Structure 1
């Protein structure tokens, strides 16, 4: 991912009639966490007057994805019923407004077939959003965690077309077993390093500034780190970090970020649903 490539990309240009764009990430939806799924479903089914003109999902929307054929699998295989329900909610929502999806480190195998099933438009990581003349740089954020060298090596491997082709050629049952093993390793790593996101590797500030300069933008919007916050980077630049979602946490976590012509504002999903 070269910085110079950013400058050559055609930005995602918001139409003039868009007045609001919502951003979410790191929901980690899975059948074993029904409370978070139900919270997200209620968020998606809010009245039309509370909805944005477009929704942008910046990765790790799904806890794991072993291939688009999960949506065609027999009932009960790899939680296929749960995934079909999720994608049905997305399709109903995307029939009313655009929904953009950027891959995260959990759902990077979501492909064109699944995106089409849900009415999603796939975004490159990173992508420049041009909203009423202001440029915002969008990313999942994992590629900027430069100190996590082991993960970055793994990321380079699994994002390569050859690795993905070989993996997706395996039987679904084998892929599901591999993804279960990877999740177990991830959980074991969290137990070793601590489950508090404050102890995890964070985005590198200098790298974020370099991306912003290449993109001719001043604000980076990203997820991945589970550290919802707003950080001044200097040189008139900032990065805004999205919330992860966990309805079972104490207190529960679920925010979305709304972009309007007045700028960015963080909203609690719980507050939005109670209003």
Structure 2
């Protein structure tokens, strides 16, 4: 696997701590998760927040902001949040169609995947993580199809209702797979290490797999997997990873 071109996000001189969150899968049928996220975005002491993909359960296109009350509510939370601190967004496998219209409407700044975040002399490689799950060949083929500009242009030209129905079908398929107990491929350690070498970073921070943990890699490198958010689960799940000069610390929010 060829390591991708890596973007750079340098910390502002005044920043002391930055939070990373991912895989909230916001959806109107799960109001507790939305409420927890709204409260967190208003109250976090972090100097910036980076959302590492799958903020939304599905995103059929930026025009949904003018047609869907829940999407508009999410945008309102983000508009309020960016008045206090910068908020960055990196695409996930569920919300890869978030675009410039969303950025203009919310004030959120879009990031490439992967991006190196540099803070206090340390380089953290940030990614959603889906592209590194090499064993999930079926998904990677789908990812290559839907990330192609021609496919996206054709899809976004379809009526919004049709796009929403398609997104709903993907969600239903995902829920069925969860109930089946099917195991998904994890991030490939060799691919993760190649990305880290290419980025001149020692730690990969990612989401996607819903398998939170800290994993040692060769040569003193590591990868940190974020948890997903589900406030209706028992026990409930919600967490931010706070990056600072002293390292990475998980902050429980549930």
Give the alignment partner of residue 64 of structure 2, picking from 70, 81, 91: 70
Give the alignment partner of residue 192 of structure 2, picking from 204, 208, 233: 208
Q: What is the CA-CA distance between 1:43 and the residue it aligns to?
A: 1.1
Look up the SS of the partner of 2:186 in the other structure: coil
Look up the SS of the partner of 1:44 in the other structure: helix
Give the alignment partner of residue 80 of structure 2, picking from 89, 92, 107: 92
Q: What is the CA-CA distance between 1:191 and the residue it aligns to?
A: 2.6
Count of residue correspondences: 254
Q: Is the 8 A contact 2:120 2:244 kept in 1?
A: no
Q: What is the CA-CA distance between 1:5 and the residue it aligns to?
A: 2.3
Q: 1:4 to 1:203 in 2, by over 3 A?
A: closer
Q: What is the CA-CA distance between 1:108 and the residue it aligns to?
A: 0.4
Look up the SS of the partner of 1:3 in the other structure: coil
Aligned to 1:18: 15
Question: CA–CA distance in 2 between the matches of 1:44 and 1:5?
Answer: 30
Look up the SS of the partner of 1:5 in the other structure: coil
Aligned to 1:28: 25
Unpaired segments of 5 or more residues in structure 1?
74-79, 271-275
Write out aligned runs for 1:36-115 (5 A): 36-46=33-43, 50-73=44-67, 80-115=68-103
Write out aligned runs for 1:150-169 (5 A): 150-169=138-157
Provide, for residues 111-155 of structure 1, a one-character-per-residue CA deviation record: whole Å limited to 9, x for no partner: 110111111110000011111221110000000000000000000
Look up the SS of the partner of 1:45 in the other structure: helix
Look up the SS of the partner of 1:136 in the other structure: strand
Question: CA–CA distance in 1 between the matches of 2:111 and 2:2?
Answer: 16
Q: What is the CA-CA distance between 1:4 and the residue it aligns to?
A: 5.8
Give the alignment partner of residue 238 of structure 1, picking from 222, 226, 241: 222
Aligned CA-pair RMSD:
1.3
Q: Which moved more, 1:145-154 or 1:112-121?
A: 112-121
Q: Does 1:266 align with 2:244?
A: no
Q: What is the CA-CA distance between 1:188 and the residue it aligns to?
A: 2.1
Aligned to 1:76: none
Q: 1:63 to 1:134 in 2, by over 3 A?
A: same
Question: CA–CA distance in 1 between the matches of 2:146 and 2:231?
Answer: 30
Provide, for residues 156-178 of structure 1, a one-character-per-residue CA deviation record: whole Å limited to 9, x for no partner: 00000000000000011111111
Q: TM-score, normalised by structure 2?
A: 0.97
Question: CA–CA distance in 2 between the matches of 1:4 and 1:33?
Answer: 35
Question: CA–CA distance in 1 between the matches of 2:42 and 2:194?
Answer: 38
Provide, for residues 87-124 of structure 1, a one-character-per-residue CA deviation record: whole Å limited to 9, x for no partner: 10111001121100000000000111011111111000
Q: What is the CA-CA distance between 1:183 and the residue it aligns to?
A: 1.4
